[in-house]
Amino acid sequence: MDSTQELIKNQVTANPVVLYMKGTPKFPQCGFSGLAVQILQASGVKDFVAVDVLADPAIRDGIKVYANWPTIPQLYIKGEFVGGADIMRDLFQQGELQKMLESATA
């Protein structure tokens, strides 16, 4: 496992909620990243780790390998890959995402 994969593994396992996104929660650099932040906020998450993949090309490429998922944003809860903005939206509408987040941040 290379150092980027180890770094990603450490980020997602050391923090209950991690969002890999383009930009920052205050200044998202793509619509899907902005949507992901809005969904987390609507779910009542006050504290999550946001990793700006645009700031680090190694993370930007590495996260796609780590999850075997081609797009960003990517949400991790308690070290588990949840999905991107579309999956987050579907889970949120079903009320599932809120339950997952409650158990992670409780």
> How far is Cα 17 from Cα 90, in angstroms, rounded to an integer?
18
- Burial (CB count within 10 angstroms: exposed 0-12, middle 13-18, buried 19+), residue 36: buried
31's tokens:
């619509």
Contact present, 85 and 32 (Cβ < 8 Å): yes
Residue 30 known to bind ligand? yes
Residue ranges at the known binding site: 30
Residue ranges at the known binding site for [2Fe-2S] cluster: 30
